[in-house]
């Protein structure tokens, strides 16, 4: 039995083996002409990422590789336009393990671009937001920390 599914709240999510083959068509159907692929260095050389880039090769203008899974004192993220490195961003590594950091970053980049920022500035702003959300993260149980995406709304003495 093969498990597949579609969800459409708040955005469409396609799940299941082989669904990557639908990526280019899904982008085209939404009118997405220049998709941005965000992944980390640990996934960058895996077949899923290579396949996604190959499918998007005719339209992926920007790629952000994050260094979250590399054991180092800093997180180094690299933004490419095509095969040209545009910028390397360095962030202090925070002490905990987090669940939701990649989702926070990708959603924030998307939101910033939807508000009209160009990809370079959207990526920069999104990284700053994500780092602060992680810095102010919380641990609801014994597992990983979660980003506090509402850190900005708290009083200065609460942060």
| Contact call for residues 105 and 130 (beta carbons, < 8 A) | yes
pLDDT tens digits, residue range 116-133?
999 899 999 999 999 999
Can you list the residues of the chain whose pLDDT is less than 50? none
Q: Are the beta carbons of 90 and 75 closer than 8 angstroms? A: yes
Distance, in Å, from the CA atom of 137 to the CA atom of 135, rounded to the nearest integer, reads 6
* Residues contacting 35, CB < 8 A, separation 6+: 27, 56, 59, 60, 61
Q: Output the pLDDT for position 72.
A: 79
Say which residues have a Cβ less than 8 Å from residue 131's Cβ, sequence separation at least 6: 91, 92, 94
User: Residue 38 corresponds to which tokens in the numbers above?
Assistant: 């965000």
CB 44 within 8 A of CB 67: no
Write down the pTM of the prediction. 0.66
């Amino acid at each position: 039995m093969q498990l597949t599914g579609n969800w459409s709240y708040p955005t469409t999510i396609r799940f299941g083996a082989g669904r990557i083959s639908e990526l280019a068509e899904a982008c085209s159907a939404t009118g997405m002409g220049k998709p941005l692929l965000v992944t980390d260095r640990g996934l960058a050389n895996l077949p899923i990422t290579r396949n996604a880039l190959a499918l998007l090769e005719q339209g992926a203008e920007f790629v952000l590789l994050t260094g979250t899974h590399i054991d180092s004192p800093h997180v180094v993220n690299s933004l490419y336009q095509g095969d040209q490195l545009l910028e390397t961003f360095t962030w202090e590594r925070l002490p905990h393990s987090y669940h939701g950091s990649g989702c926070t970053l990708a959603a924030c980049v998307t939101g910033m671009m939807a508000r009209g920022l160009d990809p370079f500035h959207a990526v920069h702003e999104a990284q700053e937001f994500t780092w602060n959300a992680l810095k102010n993260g919380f641990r609801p149980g014994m597992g990983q920390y979660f980003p506090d995406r509402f850190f900005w709304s708290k009083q200065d003495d609460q942060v």
